[in-house]
Structure 1
Amino acid sequence: MQRQGSGGQAAMVVRVAGFVLLLAHLLLVAWVSLRPRDVAWVTAPNTIPLHGLQADLALGGVEAARLIGEGLLLLAPLGVLLPMADGRLHVSGWASLTRTTAAGALVSLAIELLQTAVPGQVVDVDSVLLNTTGVALAHLLIVPACRSRLRRRREAPDRKATQGATPTISRVPIAP
């Protein structure tokens, strides 16, 4: 069963590709985030919002940028892959952003909660904030432009079809 307004075979290919890429990305994130670490000691959990970011910024320079960038980029592909797997072209931009950001926040929260059972991993509320921000930024930077481009591409043949081809005048011989 296809959704209302689905684009046919091409839209189905995009949805399937989005779903497969989404699944692959989530497996990669789970592998990276939920591996046990062999460390002699573990830092205390960070449950105070922005406390870990302040500590990262105190490191300064490249190290702070690397740590914050890792947090932003870990789940950022979800900002594109979730709408791609959904496959809607005609949807409110705010509704799409809200759905995608909420889903990214829930995935990030689930990862943080699962990390409590993994040796060497600790909960960090700033990771949830950075991951969710990364999802929202990726969505804002890529999805609206791609959707408008796909809508224009999809509507372009429709305009040509309604205008029709240039009429030709048949040559009729002049009567005697």
Structure 2
Amino acid sequence: MRQGIDGRSVIRSRVGGILLLAAHLLIVGWLTLRPLDVMWVTASNFTPFAGIRADLALGAFAATRRIGEGLLLLAPLGVLLPLAGGRLDVSPWASLARTVASGALISLAIELLQTGVPGQVVDVDSLLLNTVGVALAHAAVVPAARSRMRGRQAHTGRSVRPRRKAEGAPQGATPTIPRVGVAP
């Protein structure tokens, strides 16, 4: 069972998160997987940071634009994936690891799908920047938002964790299973 202030708000936030996540992924798919009508394309980049170094050599504006685009493309996933999950009481490190891994896999899927799209080029730097963008967005927003939501629960008197049975409480007799003989 997911925790929340009440059942309806949890369902509303999860549904909202799922809808926003789907809308964001549709926009990202349109931006990254549509065929481009270009005269020529650069070769695929499989060397990490080679494209970033080349952009830095072109100047600060080109580098800022390219790095910014890479960081911002999938950054909303850092917030939308945990929102769609709907959990409040979860380890911050586990949440970060799960979100970053999901963001990296989505970025990898986009890069792999781009191999068949005319005018689109596979770039390992995009994969790296997209993953870092997801991690930064998650680290900047999610822990504070979860803390704030848990604070609201504390003020309303509702518990964050579901109640469990006491450790020393009797649980009744242990069921026994009759032995069955081996058939001839």
**TM value normalised by structure 2:** 0.83
Say which SS state the counterpart of residue 157 (structure 2) adopts. helix
Q: How does 1:53-132 map to 2 (within 5 A)?
A: 53-132=52-131
Measured against aligned partners, the alpha-carbon deviations of 1:96-153 in whole angstroms (never above 9, x if no partner) come to 0000000000000000000000001111000000000000000000000000000001
- 1:166 counterpart residue number: none
Give the unaligned 5+ runs of structure 1: 160-176
Give the unaligned 5+ runs of structure 2: 159-184
- 1:163 counterpart residue number: none
Identity among equivalent positions (%) equals 65
Q: Is the contact made by 2:74 and 2:103 (CA closer than 8 Å) also made in structure 1?
A: yes
Measured against aligned partners, the alpha-carbon deviations of 1:51-80 in whole angstroms (never above 9, x if no partner) come to 111111111122210110000000000000
Q: Which of these residues, 3, 16, 23, is aligned with residue 5 of structure 1? A: 3
The RMSD of aligned alpha carbons is 1.0
CA, structure 1 residues 87+58, in 2 after alignment: closer, same or farther (shift >3 Å)?
A: same
* Aligned pairs, number: 157
Alpha-carbon distance, 1:154 to partner: 1.3
- 1:169 counterpart residue number: none
- 2:181 counterpart residue number: none
Alpha-carbon distance, 1:16 to partner: 0.3
Ranges of 4+ aligned residues in structure 1 off by more than 6 Å: none
Q: How does 1:42-57 map to 2 (within 5 A)?
A: 42-57=41-56
Taking the aligned partners of 2:153 and 2:59, their CA distance within structure 1 comes to 48
Would you tell me which structure has more helix in proportion to its own residues?
A: 1
The reply on whether 1:37 has 2:32 as its aligned counterpart is no
